[in-house]
Amino acid sequence: MSEPFANSEREIISGRFFNYPVDQVYRAWSDPKLIAQWWGPHGFTNTIRKFDFVPGGEWDFTMNGPDGATYENVIVFHQITPQRRIVFEHKPPPHFWTAVTFDAFGDRTKVSFRMLFDDAKTCEAVKQVAVGGNEQNFDRLAAVLGSGGRSIEVNPKLDLVLERVLDIPPNLAWKGWTTPEIIKEWFCPRPWRVVDCKIDLRPGGQFFTVMKSPEGQEFPNDGCFLEVVDNQRLVWTSAMIAGYRPVEVPVSGADMLFTGLLTFEPHGQGTRFKAVGRHKNEEDRKRHEEMGFHEGWGICADQLTETMKSR
């Protein structure tokens, strides 16, 4: 088939470098379980009915908007060169062709995304939303790559979950979570405060805080980072201290141990923030909930936003 990309008046071109090797980036485009996690602008989800990733194969799916609207899509793949190039045709109106190319630069990958419309008028109309939408698509792709393609699975019997949209971008939310002096400003509900904080931001590094009650009593908390993906994902546990060394738990089991998993996903100009607290048994989960997990973490999310917006 002839090359369909040759008219700048009918084209929308987007591109970005990703700090991941080309095989990982290509897999996120060719695996339906992965592409379902990131395809579309912020807030969209996908219901995939068919994904036949071969030349002539169809990708049949519904995009579900954050406002409840649904968008039916049928795409036909025309060219597939593994880890190099994908060309597909979007059948429903507006009709267009897309070529995705993958260029390897060591452990980095440049993705180029070119859309060709039937006429310049349609292209110009779509461009008003597609340019920004493509950038949001790349943001979501980067988040999936940063998580290794792993979504956080939640066990409602053992886990507690808080999800919020923060009115600050992911880089500021991340900075607030990973800078000791900033942590002291927001990390526990006021009038409690953090009087000491040590952060060694790497897997196996220390995450240490001391919280002080209004009555002056101090509560030290020592933990260990398990996973650190800049601006995207942070995992730590109170079951270990630095160097992955298990903590000493009293025989009575009085100390409640848990693992915290945080994700930071771009959402418009803000951040879709998700915090999951994992526990070893239902008793600890219930106890943590009764201690005020949702209320306390929600207050802290507001305090984080307030702190970072004032800087």
The residue range of the domain holding 32 is: 8-146
> Does 136 share its domain with 177?
no
How many folded domains does the chain comprise? 2
Q: Is 3 contained in some domain?
A: no
What pLDDT, on the 0 to 100 scale, is given for residue 44? 83
- Boundary (domain end) residue, out of 96, 117, 146: 146
| pLDDT tens track for 270-281 | 888 999 999 999
Residues in the chain, pLDDT under 50: 1-2, 251-254
**Chain-centre distance for alpha carbon 180:** 23
Q: Which two tokens stand for residue 42?
A: 């912020």
Per-position DSSP letters for 130-196, written without gaps between them? HHHHHHHHHHHHHHHHHTTT------TTTEEEEEEEESS-HHHHHHHHH-HHHHHHHSS-TTSEEEE
* Closest by CA position to 209, among listed 253, 231, 241: 241
Q: Is 304 contained in some domain?
A: yes
> Does 56 share its domain with 94?
yes
Percent of the chain with pLDDT over 90: 75
* Single pTM value for the model: 0.59
The enclosing domain of 229 has a CATH number of 3.30.530.20
What pLDDT, on the 0 to 100 scale, is given for residue 143? 79
Q: Report the alpha-carbon distance of residue 108 to residue 269 in Å, rounded.
A: 26
> Does 116 share its domain with 165?
no
H or E segment and range at residue 296: helix 293-309
